[in-house]
Amino acid sequence: MKKVIIYLILFVIFGSVTAFVILINKKKEEAFLPMKPRTGIQSNSEEYKLAKKSADELFERIKKNPADNKSKLQLTSLYIQEARITGDHAYYDAAAMKLTEEVLKTDSTNFEANVFKGTIYLSQHHFTEAREVATRIQQLNPHNAFVYGMLVDANVELGNYEAAVAACDQMISIRPDIRSYSRVSYLREIYGDNAGAIDAMRMAVSAGYPGEEGTEWARVHLGQLYENVGDLQNAKLQYAIALEERTDYAYAYAGLGRIARANKNYTEAISYFLKADAVVNDYSIKDQLTDLYLLAGENDKSTATAAQVIEMLSSKEKDGKEENSHGHYADRELAYAYLKTGDFDKALNHALTEYNRRPVNIEVNEMLAWVYYKQNDFAHAREYMSLALKTNSKNPTRLCRAGLIYARSGDVAKAMELIKSTLEKNPNISEELKAEAARIVPVV
């Protein structure tokens, strides 16, 4: 409809032929999205200047030669990396997908283009589609480690953990590097081997080049593993190193913010998260700020930030749909966000949507169980939490929530076992959760 209106306006002003030419040129101009200028701290980094220069050169090459698939794929790679660095996945996933689809139109079996397509699907949380792409391109190149990494990620998110382990075994046998070690770590964590997960993530960090985004991402995740076992000193050390190696790394700031929060230094914690928020466009940063403002007694800021989180996630879901792209699935994140605002009906609606998409994933079952718990539906909460515990994960938040659910559903002995084993290690979990656990099962 919009195109028809525009055409009619142009027809009145210029005549039919000119109007048609203008529309065609406009379509050509909008065929690909240019790289966006970064804002704030990141705008002056040498890394960004080099990336922007490369992107601009590639963009110009493509405009001059629309059949230049090599430049399209190089630009796609830059956009995928830019999404990781800036957190602007909505824009860059759409930009990267446009480029990828253009290549696949003329070369449907292009291996690199298919890898990028699967990677974008993973970013958009379209895990079934990502697995389909990865399975297809595995047949094109069965000895490529990156493809098995995609299969690991997709199967983990879909809850197919045995298939994920098998793919991970293949991946690490082909290429033992930062990518494969980090996936070994995550799978060990899923199966409750926190010590093994820490060892594998240490290997991932050692295999990476200091200062690169992927290396510092792994280092931050190593810090989070230390948080889960209550070793805040080592966690803080990892975040400090990450900041030293990669200036203004948002997720290292967030890590230091969590340590400050654990020490009840809420003003300091807020300052760290504000630094992170200035660097990256990531809803999870604002989500943690929501909690911190509440803890610091700044209720109005907490309410406003919670509303921003919901707006960000809702926009993320809608993004790109007018362009016939998938957009991002964000129902799990929205379910938790609505819990914080007290809108339990919307939380349940989003939780069930995500559950119907991924019914055997442990994180999804935990989310649905927690929504039912907040609604005082303890029978349903217990049903789904039992599925969330099937891999013997030792995630402290999950175990503490499980203990509360079992307590409310009448199994006090099971609740005592879960909560005591969790809180004795003093993991870095929310104050609210610890306090509620202590009230229901006084073991601390």
Does the pLDDT value for residue 12 go beyond 50? no
Does the pLDDT value for residue 14 go beyond 90? no
The arithmetic mean of pLDDT across residues 198-227, rounded, is: 97
Say if CB 315 and CB 86 are below 8 A apart: no
| pLDDT reported for residue 135 | 96
Query: Which alpha helices (DSSP H) does 328-395 contain, by range?
Result: 331-341, 344-357, 362-374, 378-388
List Cα–Cα distances, 51 to 48, 144, 246, in angstroms: 5, 26, 16
- Round to the nearest angstrom and report the end-to-end CA distance of the chain: 63
Residue type, 279: V
CA distance linking residue 288 with residue 295, whole number of Å: 11
| pLDDT reported for residue 23 | 39
Query: Between 151 and 327, whose confidence is greater?
Result: 151
Worst-scoring range by mean pLDDT, 36-50, 195-209, 224-238, 242-256?
A: 36-50
Nearest to 229 by CA among 423, 389, 433: 423
List Cα–Cα distances, 296 to 7, 191, 303, 340, in angstroms: 55, 36, 13, 16
| pLDDT reported for residue 37 | 87
CA distance linking residue 285 with residue 115, whole number of Å: 29
Model pLDDT for residues 59-102, shown as the tens digit of each residue:
999 999 999 999 999 999 999 999 998 889 989 999 999 999 99
Instruction: Grade residue 318 by pLDDT with cuts at 50, 70 and 90.
Output: low
CA distance linking residue 159 with residue 156, whole number of Å: 5
Q: What share of the chain has pLDDT > 90, as a percent?
A: 78
Does the pLDDT value for residue 150 go beyond 80? yes
CA distance linking residue 293 with residue 301, whole number of Å: 6
CA distance linking residue 414 with residue 408, whole number of Å: 11
Q: Which residue has the tokens 């210029």?
A: 14
The arithmetic mean of pLDDT across residues 45-49, rounded, is: 84
Residue ranges of E strands in 30-176: none
Instruction: Grade residue 327 by pLDDT with cuts at 50, 70 and 90.
Output: confident
Model pLDDT for residues 267-315, shown as the tens digit of each residue:
999 999 999 999 999 999 999 999 999 999 999 999 999 999 999 999 8
Model pLDDT for residues 339-382, shown as the tens digit of each residue:
999 999 999 999 999 999 999 999 999 999 999 999 999 999 99
Does the pLDDT value for residue 11 go beyond 50? no
The arithmetic mean of pLDDT across residues 11-23, rounded, is: 41
Nearest to 85 by CA among 56, 117, 52: 52
CA distance linking residue 66 with residue 89, whole number of Å: 25
Which two tokens mark 444? Answer: 């601390």
Say if CB 56 and CB 75 are below 8 A apart: no
CA distance linking residue 256 with residue 380, whole number of Å: 36
Q: Which residue has the tokens 């975040």?
A: 239
Which two tokens mark 160? Answer: 């197919």
CA dihedral 141, 142, 143, 148 (to 10 degrees): 110
CB atoms within 10 A of CB 161: 18
